[in-house]
Amino acid sequence: MPETNFPNLADVFMARKRIKNMVVKTPLIKSTSLSRLAGADVYLKLETVQPTGSFKARGAANKIVSLSPEQKENGVIAFSTGNHGRAVAEMSRRFGLKSVICLSERVPSFRVEAMRALGAEVVAYGQSQDEAYAKALSIQKERNLTMVAPFDDPMVISGQGTIALEIFEDLPETASVAVPLSGGGLFAGVAMAAKSINPKTKLIGVSMAVAPAMIRSLEAGKPVEIPEKDSLADALLGGIGLDNQYTFPMTRQYIDQQILVSEEEIGAAMVHAFLNERRVIEGSGAVGIAALLAGKLKTPGPIVLVISGGNVDPRQLHDLVAAKIDQ
Ligand SMILES: *Cc1c(COP(=O)(O)O)cnc(C)c1O
């Protein structure tokens, strides 16, 4: 087996240079309501304002600009629960690359439409991420495309890690960072960079309780498969890959605390963000707020919650808010 080259802080700085003009430096905003509840300063790192509405723009941009001219000529392919596909579609469009996005038929239709609107060829196939992935692999071979992996790729991890550079520039005294955790590209990048900048930083991974693939894998000591479920945090669904090379070992190395949140807690967090902060946050982006509101996040402040995305189905948010208001 070839020796694995884990990305490091220098890779994150290089990523930032490469993607500077394609992504935004997102705001870090103090939350009055959450700071009061937590008894510590709580800040929101708002990846919701990133192009295509999630942090995935960072990793996708870093990967795509680094491709060879020949790879760019042939185009790219991605498999995705939605936000990764959207980011790959947008970054490809900006660079004039062709993109194919494969996803399972379980992905909500509003997400599929968003990718089509960005000019990607969308292939909806199968009932699980694994089936969609198998389909993506066969199309990749057939058409000689480059696969842009959603999380287990050093370029993608380094791109997501640029979030930590911005956090420490804006708030050098950051003591804890809570990160939504699924495949672990976001966690691995942010945690590696944060710990490299200040090894005392506490890194908390937050997953939804119904299907926490990374946390089950950490418990098992190796990547494991878990059954797919529906969740308000639909961008956290999917496995970590049985052949995982980077994000599993990196998450295991850097994680200080793991937190699971229920569907009810995620819904309450989305509603809280909307009513108290006037922010539209998707379920996956709200898991840090959910952990805090549920009293599960007891870590030193200042605490930064990475708000990973805002691509919520408007009907879903409407129903949750209406249910709360009508109580
Ligand atoms: C992809 C995604 C995550 C999880 O990121 P991983 O790198 O797979 O752990 C969290 N939140 C949102 C909004 C996402 O799109």
Q: What token pair was written down for 184? A: 């672990």
Residue from 80, 308, 311, 312 to probe ligand 1 pocket by mutation (most atoms less than 8 Å from CB)? 308
Reading the block at residue 206, the tokens are: 């937050």
SS3 content of the chain, % helix, strand, coil (to 5): 50, 15, 35
Q: Which CATH class is domain 3-54+153-326?
A: alpha beta
Provide the CATH number for the domain formed by 57-147 in this structure.
3.40.50.1100
Q: Taking CB atoms and a 6 Å cutoff, what residues make up the pocket around ligand 1?
A: 54, 56, 83-84, 151, 180-187, 235-236, 282, 284-285, 308-309
Token digits for 118? Answer: 């960005």
pTM: 0.95
Q: In the prediction, which pLDDT does 1 show?
A: 47
b/e sequence 5-17, b meaning 16+ C-beta within 10 Å: eebebebbebbbe
Atom of ligand 1 nearest to the CA of 179: 10
* Protein residue whose Cα sits closest to atom 4 of ligand 1: 182
Q: Note whether 185 and 156 are within 8 A (CB).
A: yes
For residue 327, the CA-to-ligand 1 centroid distance in Å is 31
Q: Measuring CA to CA, which residue among 160, 124, 133, 171 is closest to residue 27?
A: 171
Q: What is the pLDDT along the chain (327 residues), one digit of tens a residue?
A: 455 689 999 999 999 999 999 999 999 999 999 999 999 999 999 999 999 999 999 999 999 999 999 999 999 999 886 899 999 999 999 999 999 999 888 877 877 888 889 989 999 999 877 788 889 999 999 999 999 999 999 999 999 999 999 999 999 999 999 999 999 999 999 999 999 999 999 999 999 999 999 999 999 999 999 987 899 999 998 889 999 999 999 999 999 999 999 999 999 999 999 999 999 999 999 999 999 999 999 999 999 999 999 999 999 999 999 999 988
DSSP 8-state assignment for residue 2? P
Atom of ligand 1 nearest to the CA of 311: 13
* Helix, strand counts (H, E) of the chain: 14, 10
Ligand 1 probe mutation, 115, 162, 279, 284, most atoms within 8 A of CB: 284
- Check for a shared fold between 3-54+153-326 and 57-147: yes
Tokens 């239709």 sit on residue: 109
In what side-by-side order are the strands of the sheet with 176-180?
28-30, 42-46, 303-307, 176-180, 202-208, 257-261
Question: How many angstroms does the Cα of residue 189 sit away from the middle of ligand 1?
Answer: 12
**pLDDT on residue 110:** 79
Ligand 1 pocket test target in 186, 251, 287 with most atoms within 8 Å of CB? 186
pLDDT given at position 4:
64
Strands 176-180 and 202-208: parallel
Domain coordinates in residue numbering, the chain? 3-54+153-326, 57-147
